[in-house]
Chains A and B, each alone.
Chain A
């Protein structure tokens, strides 16, 4: 928004503004060439097309200090403008005049815009036309928004109800949805689950060997690794990996759908988003989790073998024999139960954050972060709780 008022032949004078008191009362005298944007490459001139397009002409002079309006203005002292010597103006001058007019209008000072060039006057009038329209004020909340914890509890309840409806045969899941989720969640997570569980098993073997060696009980090294992996760590590590890989993806997918009103489109069709979106993801993870955990536990126990044999002098046959003897049925089902619980929490955290995300690109990122953090916290809390409960029950 930059308009030259006089022929470009006259050399551009520096911009000036000053209040003068004349016969017609106070006037703001404007002179010189205002704008264009300092520091900016000047846009190709629309008027003449004279400047070589693309050439970065130096920007205009910096605007002068803006004079404060004179003291003692009131409803009886109208002010005007004298812009006879104004050579060019830009939106910076328009913005200053607009701010000035708003301030004067608040004091009740009548302002006559006649002295301004027509384009500037029209721009100011257009900007002032909105002054009557009330600013979109933040409306008072009709009621307290539900807290995050309440949303979570409500979400868990909805999932349980949807699960009940499905098990009772009153709603249907599309097998294709579940299969698609299985494909997206399972196979590609396997390598990284094997790697992390294997490394944890290795670590466990070293630590167990060092402690057990002090009392000459290296034979039981296999017990430590096998029970530790199967009962606690395979599930925990699988859940941690899935939280980062899959829970975050759930949150991002659902939050993007939320931003694009896709979830509302399901609702108006009468499709329950929990049944249609959450259950397939939950079931897919629950189906995939035992396989991943079993592989992870195997990798962990196998990775404990080299340190046991090479560093702590346990014979190979002894290690495997002891490992199999240590694993009774109780350890297996406790490990399975805990792992399934963790994975369910991961899926629910991802879906909960996704479904309750805001409607912007930024909200998608927030939902993804929150999903991972919530999943990890919930999983660790659940791990602690179940360990205490099962131990105290004597399993």
Chain B
């Protein structure tokens, strides 16, 4: 595997003293971490500890009550609406339930960002969309409506859409949940490939222990009791020398 780029490079994502609220309730506080260029960071923790809400903060859908999130050194909420929107287009986001637009076919779902934000012609858009679908193993599903897909296919299609604009920073919310082992492995392979060959930076919320060990460079453990992050490091190190709660989390699932 490639070595991580020198620490001198500016982190893609900087989180400083972030407090996270969900439904008017404080769920996390005092989060500070960086995501380095070209790294795969897994966000792990028990259900309900605020992983998905943290992700919503990282992509700027929710405004932090305290602290800040910087992407490429810029606050997500700085500047006017157009500037914020341009900043958001630099990263791809895959939502937990897919969030495919139900009135469009899969192909149109993938082509919409290209049509809106590039000058590519229709053929080129369609070719890129087909290729991205093939990357996630949905070759030939171009004309299907999202409603006609199984849950796992919807997930993969959502990842393909997140890749539509060739982002160099990807946020994935539980990419492996609801997929069969083969397709989970395939997604892991895709993420590894993106990171390895293209230097894509990936932040993924995940429960799949196998995925954590196979693709993540570092894992961030969120503890719902302590309401903050309690460990950050390479998964193997956490497994052997992390805090007890983290070791239990990682071991129980490896044992299962």
Contact = CB atoms under 8 A, between A and B. Distances in A.
A95 B127 contact: yes
A40 B165 contact: yes
Interface residues on A, range: 35 or more
Secondary structure of the A side of the interface?
loop
A62 B135 CA distance: 23
Contacts, number: 161
Contacts of B91: 43
Interface in B111-137: 114, 117-120, 124, 127-128, 130-132, 134-137
Q: Among A44, A94, A130, find the residue whose CB has the most chain B CB atoms closer than 10 A.
A: A44
A42 to B, nearest CB: 9
A8 interface: no
A56 interface: yes
B190 to A, nearest CB: 6
A128 B134 contact: yes
B199 to A, nearest CB: 4
A21 interface: no
Interface string B188-213: 01100110111111000000000000
Interface residues of B, number: 61
A131 B137 CA distance: 8
A36 interface: yes
B253 interface: no
B131 A98 contact: yes
A360 B137 contact: no
A53 B73 contact: yes
Interface string A113-148: 000001110110011111101111010000000000
Interface of B: 5, 9-10, 12, 37-38, 71-74, 83, 86-87, 89-91, 102-103, 114, 117-120, 124, 127-128, 130-132, 134-141, 144-149, 153, 163, 165-169, 186, 189-190, 193-194, 196-201
26 contacts: A1-B166, A1-B194, A1-B200, A37-B117, A40-B118, A41-B117, A43-B90, A43-B165, A47-B199, A91-B132, A92-B120, A92-B128, A95-B132, A98-B134, A99-B127, A120-B197, A127-B131, A127-B139, A130-B137, A130-B138, A130-B139, A136-B153, A358-B147, A360-B146, A360-B147, A363-B147
Given A40-B117, A92-B127, A135-B139, 14 more contacts: A1-B163, A1-B194, A46-B198, A53-B73, A54-B74, A59-B118, A91-B132, A98-B130, A98-B131, A123-B193, A129-B137, A130-B138, A135-B141, A138-B148
